[in-house]
């Protein structure tokens, strides 16, 4: 793309209406009307990154943007609490003209009334699938006027994803169990999260659909009963070590563990957080490629 437009010209770039306003219904069904987006606060690191990928500038975001996503934010960008504990005073102190929130976080859903009262335009988003990321990027790039960045961080990634899906089409369906482990337990996940959606897209059968009690707590007995071709684990929480320790003590040290199909075949796989727990955003193609190569090793050369 060419040079970035000067910030002053950004507000007039979108042509949503004659006044340059943007009007839409957000993920919680609220009507949103935006008049400017020079001072944006995002209460979720991945959404902050998407705004930046669209060429937008931030005045504030939550701590995960720095701690988990490693976003290089200037010193003028305020840290306004965490995802689960956003700080309303600090949000308002940043004087935002648009606040981006997570529809899946109770503490953020609860901020709605206070933001309305303060007269701060804001919108709730939910992104579990690549298409939802693409839709968000589309909207943001319309606001910033950066079609070049939509092509680079959206359409290019979409081509990557589609190439992977085309490569795996018609393959035999491997079975899989997706486990989210933390220091005190483990739960199986369905397709209400990004890795579950990718598994489904790639033709894997997630055995949680047959063994629903695994959603509450994963027991060794049920893993033995399900005996999936693949067991995928994503660690949760700040202490990856403790989550791994939980898996070791409760599963790997069980005498029956070594007899599982997935374990015998070397298909017990720890998935990297940056591609499978945090929203991969512009790396979504990489996430699909990585998962497809694990599920279909014979296709690895084709997938890139």
Query: How confident is the model at residue 15, as a pLDDT?
Result: 41
Alpha helices in the chain (DSSP H): 7-10, 45-53, 64-67, 88-93, 106-109, 112-117, 130-144, 147-150, 156-168, 194-201, 220-226, 240-247, 261-264, 273-276, 284-295, 300-303
Contact status, residue 269 vs residue 230, Cβ threshold 8 Å: yes
- Per DSSP, what are the bridge partners of residue 85? none
Contact status, residue 205 vs residue 228, Cβ threshold 8 Å: no
CA angle 255, 259, 265 (to 5 degrees): 135
| Mean of the per-residue pLDDT values of the chain | 90
Single out the residue of 153, 137, 165, 145 nearest to residue 291, CA to CA. Answer: 165
- pLDDT tens figures, 2-25: 444 444 433 444 444 434 799 999
- pLDDT tens figures, 168-223: 999 889 999 999 998 888 899 998 889 999 999 999 999 988 887 777 788 889 89
Contact status, residue 83 vs residue 102, Cβ threshold 8 Å: yes
Q: Which of 13-17, 103-107, 236-240 has the lowest mean pLDDT?
A: 13-17
Q: What is the DSSP letter of 214?
A: G
Kindly tell me if the per-residue pLDDT of 248 is higher than 70.
yes
The helix or strand, by DSSP H or E, that contains position 98, with its residue range, turns out to be: strand 98-102
- pLDDT tens figures, 140-177: 999 999 999 999 999 999 999 999 999 999 988 999 99
Which pTM was predicted? 0.87
Query: How confident is the model at residue 20, as a pLDDT?
Result: 75
Strand order in the sheet with 98-102: 78-79, 58-61, 40-42, 98-102, 122-125
Band of residue 66 on the pLDDT scale cut at 50, 70, 90: confident
């Amino acid at each position: 793309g060419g040079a970035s437009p000067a910030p002053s010209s950004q507000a007039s770039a979108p042509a949503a209406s004659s006044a340059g306003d943007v009007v839409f219904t957000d993920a919680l069904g609220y009507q949103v009307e935006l008049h400017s987006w020079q001072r944006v606060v995002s209460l979720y690191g991945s959404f902050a990154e998407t705004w930046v990928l669209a060429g937008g500038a931030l005045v504030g975001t939550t701590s995960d943007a720095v701690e988990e996503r490693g976003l290089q934010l200037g010193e003028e960008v305020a840290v306004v609490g965490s995802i689960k504990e956003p700080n309303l005073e600090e949000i308002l102190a940043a004087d935002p003209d648009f606040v981006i929130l997570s529809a899946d976080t109770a503490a953020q859903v609860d901020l709605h009334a206070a933001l309305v009262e303060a007269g701060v335009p804001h919108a709730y988003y939910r992104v579990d699938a690549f298409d939802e990321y693409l839709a968000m990027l589309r909207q943001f790039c319309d606001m910033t006027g950066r079609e070049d960045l939509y092509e680079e961080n959206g359409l290019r990634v979409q081509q990557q994803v589609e190439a992977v899906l085309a490569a795996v089409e018609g393959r035999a369906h491997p079975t899989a169990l997706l486990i989210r482990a933390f220091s005190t337990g483990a739960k199986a996940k369905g397709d209400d999260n990004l890795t579950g959606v990718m598994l489904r897209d790639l033709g894997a059968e997630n055995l949680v659909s047959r063994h629903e009690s695994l959603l509450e707590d994963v027991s060794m007995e049920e893993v033995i009963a399900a005996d999936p071709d693949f067991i995928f684990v994503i660690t949760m929480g700040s202490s990856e070590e403790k989550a791994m320790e939980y898996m070791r003590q409760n599963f790997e040290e069980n005498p029956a563990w070594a007899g599982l199909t997935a374990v015998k075949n070397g298909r017990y796989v720890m998935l990297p957080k940056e591609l499978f727990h945090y929203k991969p955003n512009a790396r979504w193609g990489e996430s699909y490629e990585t998962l497809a190569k694990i599920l279909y090793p014979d296709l690895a050369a084709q997938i890139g």
